[in-house]
Chains A and B, each alone.
Chain A
């Protein structure tokens, strides 16, 4: 591939911990390069030498075949050496294991560590302790920046721009790392964001008008508990996965009631703009937060989200290694 379409310009991020540290230019830069990476994926020989000699370690403390494989494939297409480490969080005692594992990985001279961990802030911990670059592949209930980037990419690809669009995020805002990263990503790109869900699944300080302080990054984010109202004029609808534990923890009376109040179905979809995009970060509970025929219907871009995951991650890895005469 020629260099003209992939920008090598560094995007000013050593680590990718969350999108809060990204400027809209950084995000645009990653999305632009993603387009170039998609072209690489369409080649007959899907291999470019950009990260030759670099070691990428994926360190997964939660099982996630989709995200891990996507990173692995992205790194391999860019010719990095990939080492996969997985570990069960439950057997680790007091984090010595994360610290010691991290030191071991650093000793392998990992250039980039991709971490998924059930605890919020685990990637920050690694970034603080190690010299390697760190990519957050999902930490606890905090952030999932690469998911957000692929969501942004999917929106931009389908409706041209993000700025000014009305994006409705439905469901478990309280515990969703995807929602949190998307809040940063979407607001930075100038979208109009509406959060919709039962009040028990929206953080208290979002509900109580605590966002009036000057400079609050989410001051303009709207909260709406009635889904029909929220969906009016929506350009994009993102349904979130409802963790089945929420009912046991007292957040919800039943999945049935949730589905009735917040499930995305054909009637509700008709309230949104014609052709509004239907998105879901997966894995879906079909019949709970989204009906099957909507999930797989004409307006759904859910499969596309998964597909663009590899190209977005290639773009990120490429940008993080940029400034070193990369070839693609």
Chain B
């Protein structure tokens, strides 16, 4: 029998049950047993003092890369799930661009088994849309669905062929699962390594125009309308995409989208790696061409970035997802053009998104909702809430603790973050998965 845990005196925020109050939360047998004023003298009850902290459902990340099998030098299911737990996540969805990719049941089973034996939290696999993610023929989606994938994606590579995307949406609609697409028209993004604009121009780097994302987003919305299939736009980054999704939702089209913590909080100036005192008009320093800020879709300009908070507030954006993309130093200690795309996000996600609360752009409850019950709704699952009787996936964090990011201390093998050395406000103190500690920072 699991030990019972009493989380005392925290501010419990559970958007799914409209709860925001200071109370105690009792976990018995890995489930939420009681919320209220609870005094327990029972020796089998361990007390966690959450006074001054916020207590929420464990976070759910619909989009991360755990790299196993195939790229264990970048991340493993063991290190990736530890990293997630340290970031307050209790459920992560693993993208299928592994090697071999998750385009067959056997690879999905491998990931699920690894997660059960070596992972510390729940891992839900995502299957490939096409065999080998080559964009030529559909994967065996029905079998993948039976194996437990929560959706299909060729993430990292868009489904470029519009007819194949149509078929994928139609086929998956029958399975009740979404197609998660990384929207990027390859011809518009060819050879590009950052956002198109003044900073790319002055760095002499080829830029990706907003249109590279928007043209395909428009296509996918139209195909969703045509087929009735459920399309989910991964990591949207432009104001134009946001507008299209808003309009599509108004018209009742079956489209959803997500935004990452970095597209909510960082701009393409991060590539310059300049201090707060400098501007993009100042001379470049040797720190320019910061490969840790190379990510796809690229960090956009200030107007695209700041509009994303509106998308959170008006529910155009369904949830926040990390697109955690760990890489080894070899992939990043090189020229900007050669560097891999991606940021290691899990352990900084909360601190990043809480800046929107501290800067009074988004309410705290809304941010929690976008990390918990909204992604749970997307999964059609009963996770993401602290309702009585539910699995005790619980995250406790200090809303006001300011800390300095030191990526060398990450649980993730991926130390690739442009936030290294910067300060964030808001820090995970403990994560419970099924009523057990999976992370604790006292």
Which residues does A use to contact B, with CB under 8 Å?
A: 15, 17-18, 20-21, 94-96, 98-99, 117, 119-122, 124-125, 127-129, 139-143, 177, 180, 203-206, 210, 215-217
Contact = CB atoms under 8 A, between A and B. Distances in A.
B284 A120 contact: no
A94 B330 contact: yes
Nearest to B334: A95
A226 to B, nearest CB: 22
Contacts of A140: 204-205, 337
B203 interface: yes
B35 interface: no
9 contacts: A17-B284, A95-B333, A120-B289, A121-B203, A121-B204, A121-B335, A128-B287, A141-B206, A216-B281
B198 A139 contact: no
Given A17-B286, A95-B339, A121-B205, 17 more contacts: A18-B283, A95-B338, A96-B334, A117-B335, A119-B336, A119-B337, A120-B337, A121-B335, A122-B335, A124-B284, A125-B335, A139-B204, A140-B205, A141-B206, A142-B205, A205-B201, A215-B281
B289 A121 contact: yes
A21 B202 CA distance: 13
B198 A210 contact: yes
B423 interface: no
B275 to A, nearest CB: 15
Contacts of A18: 283-284
A103 B155 CA distance: 36
Interface string B332-357: 01111111000000000000000000
Contacts of B156: none
B286 A142 contact: no
Interface of B is mostly: loop
Contacts of A141: 204-206
Contacts of B335: 95, 98, 117, 119-122, 125
A178 B63 CA distance: 42
A120 B201 contact: no
Interface string B384-422: 000000000000000000000000000000000000000
Interface in B169-201: 196-198, 201
Given A119-B336, A120-B203, A215-B279, A94 B331 contact: yes
B280 to A, nearest CB: 9
Contacts of A143: 204
B288 interface: yes
Contacts of A17: 284, 286
A141 B194 CA distance: 14
A251 to B, nearest CB: 13
Interface string B274-310: 0000010101111111000000000000000000000
Contacts of B196: 204-205
A217 B330 CA distance: 35
Contact of B197 (A121, A129, A142, A205): A205
Given A203-B201, A216-B281, A119 B286 contact: no
Nearest to B209: A204
Contacts of B285: 124
A307 to B, nearest CB: 27
Contacts of B281: 215-217
A16 B148 CA distance: 56
B337 A128 contact: no
Contacts of A122: 335
Given A121-B289, A127-B286, A180 B204 contact: yes
Nearest to B333: A99
B166 to A, nearest CB: 27
Interface in B251-295: 279, 281, 283-289
Nearest to A204: B196
